[in-house]
């Protein structure tokens, strides 16, 4: 895992920062304390940044950004903090509500502590960005090559401010006892300020969980899990949804390389909405069995997994079957999965994916294909097809070229239209000296939806930055 305090990627003047709590590899890394201050200056000039139809015109921006990162690590705990903000000035296209002046504040905090028989983790994030500068799909790839876009990814268009927050905590006791207890709490949400797209509605999620772990012997653990989840949205009908689940199961180590996990229980979903004609709020309930069974095993050159999962949502019962295989290759890795998913009376749908990484002496190819069910900001299941491809080439020790492409097709659902998105960025990156670096390039984006037709955006960008390490 990277030990850099702040990872930044400037794409068309948009800087993305992530704090990574480093995992110690040996005793020499304990008792570490590091700080970093990053200074960036980005310029962007582009047409129709808000992906409007008809086009909103040309925007030119200059953004100066400061970000401070801190990381502390001892033998028992890890702490990281990032704080940042920018100053933006420029000429904004008519009809675009992008803000200038003090913009894009960011706060991210992580804390983890593990004792002899308990652990505690806490994380909190707040980030404000402009909708016109929405991040491309590849920025949501994690270290395992899994892409997890935000719930409103398919809905983002136009301009205005997007404010997202997340706060979560986990406490687990009895790590080495016959009985252990795990408590989970999380709240998150997204709010829109001065959004030009009236269909964007604020939404929030809250979840609570309690799991009892009964360790009968070193290879068998029984589980009893209680969970509660609440969704609320400021949409036209003021949707509120509460989901309660109780499940019992077990985790069994079949061998030193294989594990079987089983759970079964019951879920109840209560949805409350306002009738647009009468103004009366009414509640509907959907309930039924839920659970799953999962088998994992290590293989000489990778892993194999197969599982069946059953959940309940406001539309009924969804069952999913999925097989997955990963391979370690001499010059990279390859993993894939395939399965089917079915929602009550609907037809079964094929799902699956492929993740390939190929490394050459001076180049790297990456390819990700994914077809899966994602939950959108309206709390609706959407069958989504994703493609993320990348190529990077080291010209020499100080410069490189990169090409990144992403495409997504979110299929239509009840009350939701199908959406197609694409982004392509070609960039040249160079280290000017030991401290300073810059990148420049061109970005293309497109959005197609039945209601608005097709919209395209083109931009050129240049950014220069420096890290000050303490």
- pLDDT, tens only, 298-338: 999 999 999 999 999 999 999 999 999 999 999 999 999 99
Mean pLDDT is lowest, of 15-24, 255-264, 394-403, for: 15-24
Secondary-structure breakdown of the chain: helix, strand, coil percentages, each rounded to the nearest 5: 0, 70, 30
Interval 393-415: pLDDT, tens = 999 999 999 999 999 999 987 77
What is the predicted pLDDT for the residue at 83?
Answer: 98
Q: Would you say 225 and 263 are in contact if contact means Cβ atoms under 8 Å apart?
A: yes
Stretch 363-384: mean pLDDT, rounded? 95
- pLDDT higher than threshold 90 for residue 58: yes
- Distance between CA 373 and CA 352 in Å, rounded? 10
**Position with higher pLDDT, 166 vs 346:** 166
Q: Residue 417: pLDDT band by 50, 70, 90 thresholds? A: confident
What is the predicted pLDDT for the residue at 470?
Answer: 84
- pLDDT higher than threshold 60 for residue 353: yes
Query: How many other β-carbons are positioned within 10 Å of the β-carbon of residue 324?
Result: 18
What is the predicted pLDDT for the residue at 30?
Answer: 52
- pLDDT higher than threshold 50 for residue 387: yes
Stretch 99-127: mean pLDDT, rounded? 96
Residue-wise burial string across 186-203, b where 16 or more C-beta atoms lie within 10 A, e elsewhere: bbbbbbbeebbbeebbbb
Report strand pairing: 101-114 vs 118-130. Answer: antiparallel
Instruction: Using a pLDDT cut of 70, give the percent of the chain over it.
Output: 93
Mean pLDDT is lowest, of 12-26, 43-57, 64-78, 441-455, for: 12-26
| pTM of structure | 0.89
- Distance between CA 210 and CA 233 in Å, rounded? 25
- Distance between CA 111 and CA 113 in Å, rounded? 7
- Reported as half-sphere exposure (CB side, CA atoms, 13 A), residue 39 has a value of 5
Q: Is the peptide bond preceding residue 54 cis, with omega within 30 degrees of 0?
A: yes
Quote the tokens at residue 387: 């493609």
Strand-pairing partners, residue 208, are 185, 228
Strand-pairing partners, residue 285, are 270
Q: Is 156 helix (H, G, I), strand (E, B) or coil?
A: coil
Q: Residue 142: pLDDT band by 50, 70, 90 thresholds? A: confident
> Sign of torsion, CA 124 130 133 137?
positive
What is the predicted pLDDT for the residue at 28?
Answer: 46
- pLDDT higher than threshold 70 for residue 221: yes
- pLDDT higher than threshold 80 for residue 189: yes
Interval 446-467: pLDDT, tens = 999 887 789 999 999 999 999 9
Stretch 142-153: mean pLDDT, rounded? 87
Q: Residue 2: pLDDT band by 50, 70, 90 thresholds? A: very low
What is the predicted pLDDT for the residue at 237?
Answer: 95
Q: Residue 141: pLDDT band by 50, 70, 90 thresholds? A: confident
Stretch 39-45: mean pLDDT, rounded? 97
Question: DSSP characters for 127-168?
Answer: EEEEGGGPPPGGGGB-TTS-B---TTTTT--S-SEEEEEEEE
- Distance between CA 91 and CA 98 in Å, rounded? 10
- pLDDT higher than threshold 80 for residue 260: yes
- Distance between CA 376 and CA 166 in Å, rounded? 17
What does pLDDT average to over the chain? 91
What is the predicted pLDDT for the residue at 219?
Answer: 96
- pLDDT higher than threshold 50 for residue 13: no
Quote the tokens at residue 339: 């399965």
Q: Would you say 160 and 196 are in contact if contact means Cβ atoms under 8 Å apart?
A: yes
What is the predicted pLDDT for the residue at 263?
Answer: 98
> Sign of torsion, CA 312 314 317 321?
negative
What is the predicted pLDDT for the residue at 31?
Answer: 67
Angstrom CA distances, 353 to 58, 214, 329, stand at 38, 35, 18
Angstrom CA distances, 466 to 41, 298, 434, stand at 9, 43, 9
What is the predicted pLDDT for the residue at 420?
Answer: 95
What is the predicted pLDDT for the residue at 434?
Answer: 85
DSSP code of residue 24: P
| End-to-end alpha carbon distance in the chain | 20
Stretch 104-126: mean pLDDT, rounded? 97
Instruction: Using a pLDDT cut of 90, give the percent of the chain over it.
Output: 84
Residue 165 burial class via C-beta count within 10 angstroms: exposed 0-12, middle 13-18, buried 19 and up: middle
């Amino acid at each position: 895992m990277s030990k850099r305090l702040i990872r930044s990627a400037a794409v068309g003047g948009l800087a993305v920062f992530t704090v990574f709590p480093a995992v110690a590899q040996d005793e020499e890394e304990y008792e570490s304390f590091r700080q970093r201050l990053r200074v960036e200056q980005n310029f962007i000039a582009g047409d129709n940044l808000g992906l409007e139809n008809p086009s909103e015109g040309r925007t030119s921006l200059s953004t100066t950004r400061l970000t401070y990162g801190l990381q502390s690590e001892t033998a028992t705990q890890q702490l990281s903090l990032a704080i940042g903000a920018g100053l933006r000035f420029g000429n904004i296209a008519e009809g675009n509500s992008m803000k200038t002046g003090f913009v894009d504040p960011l706060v991210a905090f992580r804390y983890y502590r593990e004792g002899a028989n308990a652990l505690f983790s806490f994380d909190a994030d707040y980030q404000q960005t402009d909708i016109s500068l929405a991040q491309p799909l590849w920025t949501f790839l994690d270290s395992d090559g899994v892409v997890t876009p935000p719930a409103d990814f398919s809905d983002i268009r136009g301009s205005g401010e997007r404010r997202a927050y997340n706060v979560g905590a986990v406490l687990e006791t009895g790590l080495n006892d016959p009985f252990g207890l795990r408590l989970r709490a999380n709240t998150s949400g997204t709010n829109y300020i001065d959004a030009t797209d009236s269909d964007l509605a604020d939404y929030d999620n809250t979840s609570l969980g309690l799991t009892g772990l009964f360790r009968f012997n070193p290879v068998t653990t029984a589980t009893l899990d209680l969970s509660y989840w609440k969704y609320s949205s400021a949409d036209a009908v003021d949707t509120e949804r509460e989901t309660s689940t109780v499940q019992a199961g077990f985790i069994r180590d079949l061998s030193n390389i294989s594990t079987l996990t089983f759970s079964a229980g019951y879920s109840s979903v209560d949805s409350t909405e306002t009738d647009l004609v009468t103004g009366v709020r009414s509640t509907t309930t959907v309930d039924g069995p839920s659970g799953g069974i999962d088998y994992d095993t290590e293989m000489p050159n990778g892993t194999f997994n197969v599982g069946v999962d059953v959940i309940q949502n406001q539309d009924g019962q969804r069952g999913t079957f999925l097989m997955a295989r990963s391979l370690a290759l001499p010059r990279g890795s390859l993993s894939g999965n395939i399965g089917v998913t079915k929602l009550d009376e609907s037809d079964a749908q094929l799902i699956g994916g492929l993740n390939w990484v190929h490394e050459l002496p001076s180049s790297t190819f990456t390819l990700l294909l994914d077809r899966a069910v994602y939950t959108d900001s309206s709390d609706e299941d959407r069958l989504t097809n994703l493609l993320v491809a990348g190529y990077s080439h080291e010209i020499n020790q100080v410069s490189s070229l990169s090409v990144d492409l992403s495409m997504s097709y979110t299929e239509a659902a009840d009350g939701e239209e199908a959406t197609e998105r694409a982004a392509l960025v070609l960039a040249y990156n160079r280290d000017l000296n030991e401290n300073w670096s810059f990148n420049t390039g061109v970005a293309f984006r497109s959005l197609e939806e039945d209601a608005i037709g097709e919209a395209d955006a083109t931009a050129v960008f240049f950014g220069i930055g420096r890290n000050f390490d303490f």
